Amino acid sequence: MLTKDDVALMILETKKAAGLTWEGIAERIGMSPVFTHSAAMGMNAFPPAKAAALGQVLNLSAEAVEVLSESPNKVWPQTVPTDPCIYRFYEIVGVYGPTLKALIHEKFGDGIMSAIDFEMSVSRVENPKGDRVKVEMSGKYLQYNAW
């Protein structure tokens, strides 16, 4: 029986051997690169039709395609990451998390930004001081309910 980790490894190997990019794969299946990567790595579930489309693009087995549509556990190591790129995002949340929370509460009230009804994109922005990484996130506001 295949696990999400098994399928993620298959996808990474196939992607590399085929010389594909996440943007190219996402375009071929009609999804965003962010969600495509996240679901391919097991942190989200593909809708069945998108799992089948990915299976066709990467020539995955029927069992692997089925695993892609299963609900994930969304469990990750709780230690501070050491990969420099991932660590910087951890640092950003550590430094600016309270600020983001305060500003969300000021503008919307007591609640959160959903990571379920959520969109994110990553783009490159040319800049004379050095190219910039632009990360845009948009999540539905969810107000806490008072009982």
Write down the catalytic residue from 91, 132, 136, 138.
Answer: 91
For residue 68, give the nearest of 50, 45, 36 by alpha carbon.
45
Q: What confidence tens digit (pLDDT) does each residue in 115-131 have? A: 989 999 999 999 999 99
Mean pLDDT of 22-35: 96
In Å, what is the CA distance from 62 to each residue of 7, 33, 53?
Answer: 11, 23, 11
| pLDDT tens digit sequence for 127-139 | 999 999 999 999 9
Given the residues 88, 119, 121, 132, the one annotated as active site: 88
* 132 catalytically annotated: no
Query: Which fold would CATH assign to domain 4-68?
Result: 434 Repressor (Amino-terminal Domain) (1.10.260)
| CATH entry 3.30.750.24 includes domain 84-143 | no
Beta bridge partners of 113: 141
- Annotated catalytic, 27? no
Domain regions of the chain by residue span: 4-68, 84-143
